[in-house]
Amino acid sequence: MRRLLYVIGLFVVVVMMSAAWKSPRSSQFVDGEVLVKFKGTVSAQSSESIVSNLGARTMARVRSIGVQRLRLPGDMTVQEAIEQLYKSGAVEYAEPNYLVRASIIPNDTQFGQQWGLRNTGQTGGLSGADIDAAPAWDTITGTTSVIIGVLDSGMDYRHADLKNNLYTNPGEDPWSDPNDPSTGNKIDDDGNGLVDDWKGFNFLADHNDVYDDNAHGTHVAGIAGAVGNNGQGVSGVCWQVRIMGLKFLNAAGDGNVGDAIEAIEYAANMGVDILNCSWGGPDYSETLRNMVTYANGQGVLLVAAAGNGGVNTDDTPEYPACFEVPNVISVAASDAGDQRAVWGNENETTDDCGFGCSNVVAAVPGSNFGVTTVDLAAPGKDILSTVPGGYAVFSGTSMSAPYVSGAAALVLARNPGWTPSQLKGRLMNTVDKVSAFSGLCVTGGRLNLQKALAGS
């Protein structure tokens, strides 16, 4: 899966900003935009005056965390705007609107079997190196009372293996043609500020069509919640669920924090239980962290892809996976042999202290890891799932995260009312301990759905 990036410019920061703004590790952001949170003691009139003096305008207000998204005048750089905002003494923080990218490594290899759900060695891997989904389904296959939000590139809401599991907003008048977003009644029926958001919303383009022009979001949705036992295509981890499409990544898999926070706020306020975030990047955003914290308060479990650079995120963090917020669960990728997934030819380890030293991972591109920042592993290499109009095999931690999201949905179906911390604890405490992940993640193991449901 392609690495998701959200990054800030490489420029000199004035001394008064240094304590409030962490140094960036990358250099991409939305030109002409800034995210700012004014201090609580600053009046609305004063903040409006400061924005006006910049020559900027407020594009959006994310009221749940008190953040404004500003559009700067054409002759002002992001650096200049942030410097002026801090000099006013009125801001809690100001930061660029970082860019993000979907975490996917496409693979055109066609497999007809979903080894991550039931591994019999059909792909040459290790029999039993799976999440034990088949026996788990004897306990429960899902419920339509649980909502999974897929914050991604959208989804194919016409797909035969997804359409019966799609979320529809009960407060919004249905489209006259369920496959055509333009056939809504052009009225904000539920008064949430968005028109015709019957099947989620497109925060990238600010309209109600969440159709996937990348394939990533549809693939993720299918892993978590493709309709099961319907005689066609593939099965999701959770056979019955409601999947909400939240589009913020474009056709190239790129997005930004400004769109992401609006989508997360919407999802949290609309009752999403589990939010799948198969994307990430190297730059710390206080705005994004605040929104993740808000989602925690609203009872949302946030499942995040650990990233695909083959790095130790204890030292080189990825966000949102590395936010220290109770509702975040970070997921690494395993392969069909129960090894840490790599995107090259070999899954090897190396060391500097002679043969036999363990858990020193070779510098090859693959799943990220981290004994304090990555929670558990799930299947993530050569994963068959839905894409617009059909099916395809992709690899990456983007694929691992929705295994955990689907599992969380099933656990929640058995335990209505559980908090994000309870769901996270159950999933982490019931992993299969795997030697390849010992010392590489908090649990040292890979998701086991049957164990997670046992005793529920």
pLDDT tens per residue, range 197-226: 999 999 999 999 999 999 999 999 999 999
pTM: 0.83
Whether domain 15-101 has CATH 3.40.50.300: the reply is no
How far is residue 415's CA from residue 428's CA, in Å, rounded to a whole number? Answer: 16
Which one of 47, 64, 130, 152 is the catalytic residue?
152
From 11-15, 102-106, 225-229, 397-401, the region with the lowest mean pLDDT: 11-15
Task: Answer yes or no: 283 catalytic.
Answer: no
Q: 254-256 and 105-106: which strand pairing?
A: unpaired
Out of 6.10.140.120, 3.20.20.70, 3.40.50.200, 1.10.260.40, select the CATH number for domain 105-453.
3.40.50.200
Give the tens place of pLDDT for each residue, 402-414: 999 999 999 999 9
| pLDDT of res. 1 | 35
Q: How far is CA 76 from the centre of its chain?
A: 32
Asked whether the predicted pLDDT for residue 179 surpasses 60, the reply is yes
Domains 15-101 and 105-453 share a fold: no
Which one of 216, 283, 367, 382 is the catalytic residue?
216
How far is residue 199's CA from residue 163's CA, in Å, rounded to a whole number? Answer: 10
Which one of 398, 400, 405, 432 is the catalytic residue?
398
Task: Answer yes or no: 438 catalytic.
Answer: no
Give the tens place of pLDDT for each residue, 17-72: 333 444 455 568 888 999 999 999 999 999 999 999 999 999 999 999 999 999 99
Asked whether the predicted pLDDT for residue 328 surpasses 70, the reply is yes
User: Is the N-terminal amide bond of 320 cis, ω within 30° of 0?
Assistant: yes
DSSP string, 357-405: --S-B-SSSB--B-TTT--EEEE-SSEEEEETTEEEEEESHHHHHHHHH
Task: Answer yes or no: 152 catalytic.
Answer: yes
Q: How far is CA 27 from CA 11, 23, 284, 343, 402, in A?
A: 9, 11, 13, 25, 29
| Per-residue pLDDT band at 243 (split at 50, 70, 90) | very high
| Per-residue pLDDT band at 137 (split at 50, 70, 90) | confident
Domain positions in the chain are: 15-101, 105-453
